Structure 1
Amino acid sequence: MTATLPAPGETTSGLRIGPYEVDPPVVLAPMAGITNIAFRRLCREYGAGLYVCEMITSRALVERHPKTLRMVAFDADESPRSMQLYGVDPDTMREAVRMIVDENLADHIDMNFGCPVPKVTRKGGGSALPYKRRLFGEIVDAAVRAAEPAGVPVTVKFRVGIDDEHVTCTDAGRIAEDKGASAVALHGRTAAQRYSGHADWSAIRALKQTVRSIPVLGNGDIFSAGDALRMKAETGCDGVVVGRGCLGRPWLFRDLQAAFAGEPVPEGPKLGEVAHVIRRHAELLTDHMGEHSGLRDLRKHLTQYLRGFPVGSELRKRFGLVSGLGELDDLLAELDPDVPFPDEAEGPRGRQGSAGKVVLPEGWLDDPEDASVPADAEMDHNGG
C-alpha cells in the first residue's frame, strides 16, 4: 500500500498520552546504551514527539543503585520527562512508581514487557511476562494505581508473543486497557524473532481493532518517514515508535515531522552535514559524561553515521578508536563534505541477528494464570 501524505497544514496526530499531546505522533523507543540524555537531546533538536530514556529496573531504582540514579537524568527543557520501567514483581513496581511520583522523577512511565534478551526472559521478565496474564495484570495495575494520584500516565509496551505458538498481544492489550493504561505499544515481532526477519504489522492492526478506548502505537521496521505513514495507513495505529531506524540518523525525526505535517520530506544529508551531526553528538556526550567517556560512547554510533558513504577502511578504523574532540575534528576534516547521501544508507539498520528459542524459567508455560513471581527474578538487575 502506498502511504498518502496529509494535506499541507493538516495534523495527523490526535495522539494524547494522559494529559500530553504528542504531535507528531512519534515516540523514540528506549534503547539500552543509546537513548541517554545526549542522544535524546540530539533527536529532539530535529523534531517534536515523545523521547523515552533508557530502561530503568524497578528494583535498582528502589534500592537507589548509583548507576541507575545517574541514568534518571533529563534536560531542563525536556517535557514530558519519559521513563521506561522494567519489573516482574507488582510490589516492587508499586514502590518504584511511588518513588517516581513522590520525588518528581518523571512525568510519564512506560512499562517494558518487550525485551527479548535471554538474561531477562530466563527470569520471566520482558517479553516472557505477558504470557502470565494475572501477573502481568497485577504489575500494570500496581503501576497505574501508584501513578494515578499525581496524574502520571502509564503506558505499556510488549511484543506479539513468546513465539508463533504462544501469541499474547491481544490479551495483553485488553488487560492493560482494563487496568487503566494510557496507551499500549506493540513491537510486531515475537520474542523468538528478536530483531530478525520482518515485523508483522497485521498484529498491530489486530490490536488496534481490539483495544478501542486508548491509543495503540506500532513499532517495528520504521526506517523512513514513508514507513511510518505506511504503518499508520495499513494498521490504523494512533502513532509510531521508532527504535533502530534512528541509529546514525537522528534527522529521521525531522523527516517524520515533515511527513506527518503533509510537507515534503527533506533529502538525506550530504556527508558534510553528517559530520556536523557527529560533532554535535560528541559535544552533547562530552557535556553528559566527560570528553573521554563521551567519545568512547560515540564510537558505537559512528558506523551507523558513516554507513554507505565512501569512507575508506583505514579512516573508518581511526574513527573507531577516536578518544578526544580534537582528534575527532581532524578525522571529520578528512571527509568530503559534498558527497551526497547514499542509497546504501537506506533501509534496516542496527542489530538484526537471527531468531532463536526463547529461554524461559522452568515450567513457565504450564499455567498462564499463575501469578507467582519467579524466584530471584530481580536479584541480578542491579543497575539500568
Structure 2
Amino acid sequence: MQLGTYVVDPPVVLAPMAGITNVAFRQLCREQGAGIYVCEMITTVALAHRNPKTERMIEFGADETPRSMQIYGVDPEMTAKAVRRIVDESLADHIDMNFGCSVRKITSKGGGSAIPYKRKLFGSIVKAAVDAAAPAGIPVTVKMRKGIDDNHLTYVEAGLIAQDAGVRWVALHARTAAQRYSGEADWESIATLADALDVPVLGNGDIWEASDALRMVAETGCAGVVVGRGCLGRPWLFADLQAAFAGRPERVMPSLGEVAAVMRRHAELLVAWWGAEREGVTDFRKHVAWYLKGFPVGSELRQAMAMASSLMELDDLLGKLDGDAPFPTAVLGQPRGRTNAPAKVVLPYGWLDDRDDEAVPLDAEHDDSGG
C-alpha cells in the first residue's frame, strides 16, 4: 500500500488513542513490526494556537518515519491554518483527519462523528486540509465511522466526498457513533465502501489477532487495516501482523517473564519521554492490567504494580512474577480495552434539520487535545 512516497508494508496502521499512542508507545510498537504509527489526536485550534500541552503531544522520535499526525477540526479556515503550520515547520509527513470521535463532549458541539452528516461542511474541512498540505506533498487521509446511528448512515457519501477532495485513503471504523465500542463491527460496511471508492479503504474494528486482519482483508477487499484496542498490553501484535501479511505462520506467545521485559521497556520509554521517573511510571500504570490479562497474577501484586511510582519499585514487583508462566491462550481473540453500551448520540439542537448547512458549529473546538 502506498502513502505518498512511503510504502506501507505491511498495510497496518496504529489507530490514535488518547493517552496511549504517545512517542513511547509508538516506539515500542515500531520495535515489533513495520506499519504506520499515528500520534494522539490533535485539535486544529490547539495546533494553530500552540497550546503547550499540544506541543508535547506532537513530538516524534528521532528515527520515526513517516511522522504521522492525526488532527481533528470543525472549521475549514482553522484546519487550513493548522495544516499550514505543519507544512511551514515540517511537523509531520502524513496527516490523518479524525471524523470518528463519538464522545459526548465532541458530538454535543457538532464535532467528530457528527460532522460527516453535514456533507458540505465535511467536504470543506477535508479540502482545506488537502489544499494546505499540497505544496509540501504531504498526503492526507480520513478516518470515520459508519454514521451517527443506523438511521443516519453517512459513510459511503462521506467517503466519496473525501475522495473527491483528494485524500489518499479512507479508513472506516465499522460501527456507528451510537454503538460506541459495543457489539460487533459491521465488516460488510467496509466491503460496501471498498466497492464504492477508487482510493484505498482501510478497515477498523474487532481486529484482536493477526488472523482477524487477514480475514478482514479477504472478506471485505479492503487494502489494509487499522488496529486500536487489540494492541493494548500486546505491542507484539504488530510482529504477528507483519508475519501474517508476509505469509509466515509464526505468532508471538510470550511467557510472563518475556511480558515483564516488555513492560519494563515500556515504562523505561515513558520515563525518557516524560523526562521524569515518577511521571513516566505513573503514566505506565494504566497499561498494567492489559499486559497481565489472563496470566496467573494475584490481585495484590496487580494492584501494587498499578500504584508503582519508580522504576526500582516496578523492577521489584516484576521480579515477583512467575517468569515461566506460559501465555494464556484463552484470551486470544478476546476484546481488550474499553467496552461500553450503545447510547444515543448527543448533538446540537437542530443538527439533523439541514444536511447542507455549512455553518461552523459554535464552540465545537477546544483549546486542548485528545478525546
Fold agreement, TM-score > 0.5: yes
- Give the distance between the partners of 1:134 and 1:183, measured in 2 at CA: 19
The residue that corresponds to 2:302 in the other structure is 316
Greater mean alpha carbon deviation, residues 42-51 or residues 366-375: 366-375
Matched, 1:68 2:43: no
Q: Give 1:269-308 correspondences, 5 Å limit.
A: 269-289=254-274, 290-308=276-294
Read off the aligned partner of 1:71 and give its amino acid letter: M
- Give the distance between the partners of 2:130 and 2:106, measured in 1 at CA: 23
Of 210, 222, 231, the residue aligned with 2:216 is 231
Q: Is contact 1:86-1:126 (8 Å) kept?
A: yes
Q: Give 1:247-266 correspondences, 5 Å limit.
A: 247-266=232-251
Read off the aligned partner of 1:194 and give its amino acid letter: R
- Give the distance between the partners of 2:368 and 2:294, measured in 1 at CA: 38
Of 318, 324, 344, the residue aligned with 1:357 is 344
Structure 1 runs, 4 residues or longer, greater than 4 Å off: none
- Give the distance between the partners of 1:223 and 1:129, measured in 2 at CA: 28
Q: What are the Cα deviations for residues 238-292 of structure 1, in whole angstroms up to 9, with x where unaligned?
A: 0000000000000000000000001113241110100000000011000000211
The residue that corresponds to 2:357 in the other structure is 370
3-state SS of the aligned residue for 2:195? helix
Are the structure 2 counterparts of residues 150 and 26 from structure 1 closer, same or farther at C-alpha, using a change threshold of 3 Å?
A: same
- Give the distance between the partners of 1:217 and 1:305, measured in 2 at CA: 27
Query: How far off its partner does 1:18 sit?
Result: 1.7
Read off the aligned partner of 1:169 and give its amino acid letter: Y
Q: Is contact 1:307-1:344 (8 Å) kept?
A: no
Read off the aligned partner of 1:233 and give its amino acid letter: A
Q: Give 1:156-167 correspondences, 5 Å limit.
A: 156-167=142-153
Q: Give 1:25-40 correspondences, 5 Å limit.
A: 25-40=11-26
Of 144, 150, 171, the residue aligned with 2:157 is 171
Q: Which runs of 5+ in 2 are unaligned?
A: none
- Give the distance between the partners of 1:265 and 1:41, measured in 2 at CA: 22
Read off the aligned partner of 2:282 and give its amino acid letter: R
The residue that corresponds to 1:185 in the other structure is 171
Q: What are the Cα deviations for residues 71-112 of structure 1, in whole angstroms up to 9, with x where unaligned?
A: 110011100000000000000000000000000000000000
Read off the aligned partner of 2:22 and give its amino acid letter: N
- Give the distance between the partners of 2:103 and 2:149, measured in 1 at CA: 14
Of 70, 75, 97, the residue aligned with 2:83 is 97
Read off the aligned partner of 1:32 and give its amino acid letter: A
Read off the aligned partner of 2:248 and give its amino acid letter: E
Greater mean alpha carbon deviation, residues 340-349 or residues 73-82: 340-349
Sequence identity (%): 67
Query: How far off its partner does 1:19 sit?
Result: 1.7
- Give the distance between the partners of 1:383 and 1:184, measured in 2 at CA: 22
Q: Is contact 2:236-2:252 (8 Å) kept?
A: no
3-state SS of the aligned residue for 1:167? coil
Of 186, 191, 198, the residue aligned with 2:184 is 198
3-state SS of the aligned residue for 1:181? coil
Query: How far off its partner does 1:383 sit?
Result: 3.8
Read off the aligned partner of 2:201 and give its amino acid letter: V
The residue that corresponds to 1:152 in the other structure is 138
When the two structures are superposed, what TM-score results if normalisation uses the length of structure 2? 0.98
Q: Is contact 1:182-1:215 (8 Å) kept?
A: yes
The residue that corresponds to 1:245 in the other structure is 230
Read off the aligned partner of 2:317 and give its amino acid letter: L
Query: How far off its partner does 1:382 sit?
Result: 2.7
Read off the aligned partner of 1:331 and give its amino acid letter: L
The residue that corresponds to 1:9 in the other structure is none
Query: How far off its partner does 1:381 sit?
Result: 3.5
Q: Is contact 2:51-2:367 (8 Å) kept?
A: no
The residue that corresponds to 1:24 in the other structure is 10
- Give the distance between the partners of 1:186 and 1:20, measured in 2 at CA: 21
- Give the distance between the partners of 1:374 and 1:49, measured in 2 at CA: 35
- Give the distance between the partners of 1:377 and 1:253, measured in 2 at CA: 35
Q: Is contact 1:114-1:159 (8 Å) kept?
A: yes
Query: How far off its partner does 1:345 sit?
Result: 2.6
Of 331, 335, 345, the residue aligned with 2:331 is 345
- Give the distance between the partners of 1:383 and 1:112, measured in 2 at CA: 12
Q: Is contact 2:239-2:252 (8 Å) kept?
A: no
Q: What are the Cα deviations for residues 279-318 of structure 1, in whole angstroms up to 9, with x where unaligned?
A: 0001100000021111111100000000000000111111
The residue that corresponds to 1:121 in the other structure is 107
Of 21, 30, 33, the residue aligned with 1:47 is 33
Q: Which runs of 5+ in 1 are unaligned?
A: 1-14
- Give the distance between the partners of 1:180 and 1:383, measured in 2 at CA: 26
Query: How far off its partner does 1:374 sit?
Result: 1.1
Q: What is the aligned-residue RMSD (CA, Å)?
A: 0.8
Q: What are the Cα deviations for residues 353-379 of structure 1, in whole angstroms up to 9, with x where unaligned?
A: 11000000110000111111011222x
3-state SS of the aligned residue for 2:39? strand
